Amino acid sequence: MKTLQAKRLANIPPYAFAEIDKAKRAAIAAGVDVIPLTIGDPDLPTPAYVVDELVRAAADPSTHRYPEYEGSEEFRSAVSAYYAERFGVKIDPKEEVMALIGSKEGIAHMIWAIVDPGDVVLIPDPAYPVYRMHTLMCGGEVYSMPLTEASGYLPDFGSIPENVLKKTKMMFLNYPNNPTGAVCDIEFFREAVSLARHYGFLICHDAAYVEMAYDEVKAPSILEVPGSKEVAVEFYSLSKPFNMTGWRIAAAVGQREAISALGIVKTNTDSGQFTAIQRAGAKALLHTPRDFIDFMNKVYTERRDILIEGLAAAGWHVPKPKGTFYAWAKVPRPMSSAQFALDLLEKTGVMVTPGSVWGVEGEGYVRLTFTLQTERIRQAVSRISDYLSEAGIRA
């Protein structure tokens, strides 16, 4: 038989988070009490009124038919209303919004819709692996923009060579940032938009964590920048702010030509998200009081502080992130990030994610999430403290 796997997959490693999940299952099967500080999956429930809306909508036979390809008018209008209320941005729900089956799907399909073989895509390093992997799969060329602690984990646009910028078709940004927890201000977005307008490329801003900011930080949308809709698409996800990761509902918002191109890929690939889920998503966007978001951020702030302050007391000094629910920590022992993560799992049952998962610049770091109940976080800190003490690391 001929080799079945397409050649384009030869340089694509196994999806890191699937491998992490496999390691977790194996440890549990071996009887280990695993505390997973790995994948960012909120543990708190979706608001009851959103669940109730889904139940009502699912009982309505009109939702049982194929959904509209671009998303229901109700959901797209709700996204538009949210952007007007939250960011003061006017969005045309018919031409500038497309419903997604989760933002991961939309990001991947946008790359296929825009990038031709040989086109350059500017990708942060470290970054969510989907940006890089789909660029490689569709034949694009990755140009890495290092995110370093010294730069506040913001890319240095001035360091990108002119010949690279002239070939650039797309740039990815993501703030608040996964995996570093860094935030940016509107001036950073102004600089990015100016660069994109000058060189004629598309910015894709992954705004999955835009509602998750702490210590009086309010994260902006890139679409708040005047003229940004000429060059930018933002991916807004309901997963994190409304505890809806499993629902797979999000939206691409912004540049009309890019939204249209995305639609061509999607109409030839999927049939849209279940209309009942879109109704529930509209309910979340239109009827969730700001108090709920504030409450969620208060919960995450408390958990963050328990984790970071506990690690500091154990001798592992980790900066407090201003956004997301991730802490980005230098490996406290002279070993690779993967070796450290494996050693920690084997000796304590605590799982962290090696920074190398997100790129070359991630080596030497690990990511820890704080999406667990406070008691489990305290248990994790206690185990890590004992581990560090045995390794001769003390506060």
DSSP letters for 1-61: ----S-GGGTT-PPPHHHHHHHHHHHHHHTT---EE--S----SPPPHHHHHHHHHHHTSG
Q: What is the CATH number of the domain that holds 12?
A: 3.90.1150.10
User: How does pLDDT run across 369-383, given as a tens digit for each residue?
Assistant: 999 999 999 999 999
Average pLDDT over residues 259-263: 98
Tell me what pLDDT residue 273 has.
98
Alpha-helical regions (H) of 173-249: 186-199
CB 113, CB 264: distance < 8 Å: yes
Instruction: Let me know whether 143 and 247 are in one domain.
Output: yes
Q: Which among 228, 259, 288 is the end of a domain? A: 288
- The DSSP H or E segment spanning 242 is none
Tokens standing for 35?
């505390």
Tell me what pLDDT residue 347 has.
93
Instruction: Let me know whether 260 and 299 are in one domain.
Output: no
Instruction: Let me know whether 138 and 262 are in one domain.
Output: yes
Per-chain mean pLDDT for the chain: 95
Tell me what pLDDT residue 150 has.
95
Instruction: Let me know whether 199 and 311 are in one domain.
Output: no
User: How does pLDDT run across 311-345, given as a tens digit for each residue?
Assistant: 999 999 999 999 999 999 999 999 999 999 999 99
The pLDDT of residue 251 is above 90: yes
Tell me what pLDDT residue 32 has.
87
155 backbone dihedrals φ, ψ, rounded to 5°: -70, 150
Question: Per the domain annotation, does 2 fall within a domain?
Answer: no
CB 203, CB 232: distance < 8 Å: yes
Query: SS3 string of 135-169?
Result: HHHCCCEEEEEECCHHHCCCCCHHHCCHHHHHHEE
Residue-range definition of the domain harbouring residue 316: 7-45+291-390
CB 243, CB 46: distance < 8 Å: yes
**3-state SS class at 393:** coil
Whether residue 176 has a cis bond before it, omega within 30° of 0: yes
Instruction: Let me know whether 301 and 174 are in one domain.
Output: no
Q: Distance between alpha carbon 323 and the CA centroid of its chain, in Å?
A: 12
20: confidence class by pLDDT, cuts 50, 70, 90: confident
CB 142, CB 88: distance < 8 Å: no
Residue identified by tokens 């996800």 is 237
Instruction: Let me know whether 283 and 368 are in one domain.
Output: no
The pLDDT of residue 270 is above 90: yes
Instruction: Let me know whether 122 and 219 are in one domain.
Output: yes
Average pLDDT over residues 342-366: 95
- How many CB atoms within 10 Å of residue 125? 19
Average pLDDT over residues 335-359: 94
Average pLDDT over residues 75-83: 98
Residue identified by tokens 């889904």 is 54
Tell me what pLDDT residue 17 has.
67
Q: Which among 288, 322, 346 is the end of a domain? A: 288
Instruction: Let me know whether 359 and 215 are in one domain.
Output: no
Q: What is the CATH number of the domain that holds 60?
A: 3.40.640.10
Give the whole-number percent of the chain exceeding pLDDT 70: 99
Our count of domains for the chain comes to: 2
Question: Per the domain annotation, does 267 fall within a domain?
Answer: yes
Residues 6+ apart with CB under 8 A from 389: 314, 315
The pLDDT of residue 118 is above 80: yes
